[in-house]
Amino acid sequence: MSPFLAYEDKGVDVAAATSSLPLVLVHGHPFDRTMWTPQIEAFSTTRRVIAPDLRGYGASPVVPGVTPLSVFAADIEALLDDLKVETCVLAGLSMGGQIVMECYARFPHRIRGLVLADTFPAAETPEGKRARGAMADRLLREGMRGYADEVLEKMVAPYAAPEVKAHVHRMMTATPPEGAAAALRGRAERPDYRDLLTHVTVPTLVVVGADDTYTPVSDAEAMHTALPDSTLRVIEGAAHMPNLERAGEFDEALGELLARVDDSRF
Q: Is the pLDDT of residue 60 over 80?
A: yes
According to DSSP, the residues that pair with 88 across neighbouring strands are 111
Task: Say how far apart CA 174 and CA 13 lie, in whole Å.
Answer: 31
Range of the domain at 44: 7-264
**Residue of 3 and 10 predicted with greater confidence:** 10
Domain membership of residue 1 (yes or no) is: no
Supply the pTM of this predicted model. 0.96
pLDDT in tens, 126-152: 999 999 999 999 999 999 999 999 999
Cβ atoms 105, 198 nearer than 8 A: no
Task: Identify residue 63 by its one-letter amino acid code.
Answer: V
Q: Is the pLDDT of residue 18 over 70?
A: no
CATH of the domain at 123: 3.40.50.1820
Domain membership of residue 197 (yes or no) is: yes
Domain membership of residue 130 (yes or no) is: yes
The mean of the pLDDT values for the chain is 95
Q: How confident is the model at residue 14 (pLDDT cuts 50, 70, 90)?
A: very low
Q: How confident is the model at residue 205 (pLDDT cuts 50, 70, 90)?
A: very high
Task: Say how far apart CA 235 and CA 209 lie, in whole Å.
Answer: 5
pLDDT in tens, 79-131: 999 999 999 999 999 999 999 999 999 999 999 999 999 999 999 999 999 99
Q: Is the pLDDT of residue 226 over 90?
A: yes
Q: Is the pLDDT of residue 2 over 80?
A: no
Q: How confident is the model at residue 3 (pLDDT cuts 50, 70, 90)?
A: low
Domain membership of residue 2 (yes or no) is: no
Domain membership of residue 190 (yes or no) is: yes
Task: Say how far apart CA 266 and CA 263 lie, in whole Å.
Answer: 6
Domain membership of residue 150 (yes or no) is: yes
User: Which of 10-19, 149-158, 249-258 is predicted least confidently?
Assistant: 10-19
How many distinct structural domains can be found in the chain? 1
